Amino acid sequence: MDLLKSLFKGDKVIWVVFLMLCMISVIEVFSAASTLTYKNGNYWVPISQHLLYMMIGAGVVLLTHNMPCKIFRLIPVITLPTSVILLLITMFFGERVNGAGRWLTIGSINFQPSEIGKLAVITSTALILSMMQEEKGANPRAFKYILGITGLICLLIAPENFSTAGMLFGVTVLMMFIGRVPFRQLGKMLGCIFLVLGIAVGALFATPNKVLDEIPGLHRAVTWKGRLTGFFVDEGEVTPQEYDINKNAQVAHANIAIATSHLIGKMPGNSVERDFLSQAFSDFIYAIIIEELGLIGGAFVAFLYIILLLRTGRIAGQCDKKYLSLMIMGLALLLVCQAMLNMMVAVGLFPVTGQPLPLISKGGTSTLINCVYIGIILSVSRYVEKKKQQEALLASVQAQSVIGGDAISLSAIETEQAEDEYEELESSNN
Residues 56 and 282: their CA atoms lie apart, in Å, by: 19
Higher pLDDT, 425 or 355: 355
Instruction: Give the span between the Cα atoms of 128 and 76, in whole angstroms.
Output: 10
Residue 235: its pLDDT value, please?
58
Integer Cα distance of 268 and 5 in angstroms:
32
The dihedral region occupied by 109, where left means phi > 0, alpha psi between -120 and 50, and beta the remainder, is: beta
Give the residue, 428 or 150, on which the prediction is more confident: 150
Checking if the pLDDT of 408 tops 70, the result is no
Spatial distance between the Cα atoms of 393 and 391, rounded to a whole number of angstroms = 5
28-61 confidence digits (pLDDT tens) = 888 887 776 766 666 777 788 888 999 999 999 9
Q: Is the pLDDT of residue 372 over 60?
A: yes
Count how many Cα atoms sit within 13 Å of the Cα of residue 376 in the half-sphere of its side chain.
27
Q: Does 351 score more than 90 pLDDT?
A: no
- pLDDT above 70 covers a percentage of the chain that reads 77
Determine the average pLDDT of the residues in 253-271: 87
Report the pLDDT value the prediction gives residue 410, as an integer from 0 to 100: 44
Of 411 and 29, the one with more pLDDT: 29
102 φ, ψ (degrees, to nearest 5): -105, -10
pLDDT at 108: 64
Higher pLDDT, 298 or 160: 298
Please tell me the distance from the alpha carbon of residue 200 to that of residue 205, in angstroms, as a whole number. 9
Taking a C-beta distance cutoff of 8 angstroms, is the pair 28, 285 a contact? yes
Return the number of other C-beta atoms located less than 10 Å from residue 183's C-beta. 10
279 phi, psi to nearest 5 deg: -115, 40
**CB–CB of 340/350 below 8 Å?**
no
The pLDDT of residue 121 is 96
Q: Determine how many CB atoms are found less than 10 A away from the CB of residue 144.
A: 12
pLDDT mean over 369-380: 95
Q: Is 138 helix (H, G, I), strand (E, B) or coil?
A: strand
Which residue type is seen at 385?
E
Q: Work out the pLDDT band at 406, boundaries 50, 70, 90.
A: very low
Taking each helix axis from N to C terminus, what angle separates 12-32 and 285-318, rounded to the nearest 10 degrees?
Answer: 170
d(CA 53, CA 17) in angstroms, rounded, equals 18
Q: Are 32 and 280 in contact (CB under 8 A)?
A: yes
**Helix 162-178 vs helix 140-157: angle between axes, to the nearest 10 degrees?**
170
> Could you report the per-residue pLDDT of 386-395, keeping only the tens digit for each?
888 887 777 7
How far are the Cα atoms of 143, 192, 200, 275, 292 from residue 195, in angstroms, in the given order?
20, 5, 9, 42, 42
**Hey, how many other C-beta atoms are within 10 angstroms of the C-beta on 111?**
19
Which is more confidently placed, 364 or 268?
268
Mean predicted lDDT score pLDDT of the chain: 83
- Each residue's pLDDT tens digit, 55-107: 999 999 999 999 988 899 999 999 999 999 999 888 877 676 655 556 777 66
Distance of CA 336 to the CA centre of its chain: 6
Phi and psi, residue 285, nearest 5°:
-70, -25
- Range 411-429 average pLDDT: 54
Rg over alpha carbons for the chain, rounded to the nearest Å, is 24
Tell me which of 236 and 133 has the higher pLDDT: 133
Q: Which of 125, 127, 116 has the alpha carbon at shortest distance from 79?
A: 116
Q: What percent of the chain has pLDDT over 90?
A: 41
pTM of the model: 0.86
Lowest mean pLDDT, pick from 72-86, 97-111, 125-139, 250-264: 97-111
- Residue 161 in contact with residue 365, Cβ under 8 Å? no
pLDDT of residue 217: 62
Give the separation between CA 332 and CA 68, rounded to whole angstroms: 19
3-state secondary structure of 186: helix
User: CB-side exposure of 20: number of CA atoms within 13 Å?
Assistant: 15
Cα–Cα distance for residue pair 163/171, rounded to 1 Å: 12
* Interval 161-208: pLDDT, tens: 888 999 999 999 999 999 999 999 999 999 998 898 888 888 777 777
Mean pLDDT of 17-25: 95
* Better-predicted residue by pLDDT, 148 or 216: 148
pLDDT over 50 (residue 296): yes
Distance, CA of 277 to CA of 286 (rounded, Å): 12
pLDDT value of residue 24: 94
Predicted local confidence at residue 402, as pLDDT: 55
d(CA 351, CA 196): 20
Pick the closest to residue 285 from 339, 216, 223, 230 (CA basis).
339
Q: Are 400 and 414 in contact (CB under 8 A)?
A: yes
DSSP 72-137: GGGHHHHHHHHHHHHHHHHHHHPEEETTEEEEEEETTEEE-HHHHHHHHHHHHHHHHHHHTEETTE
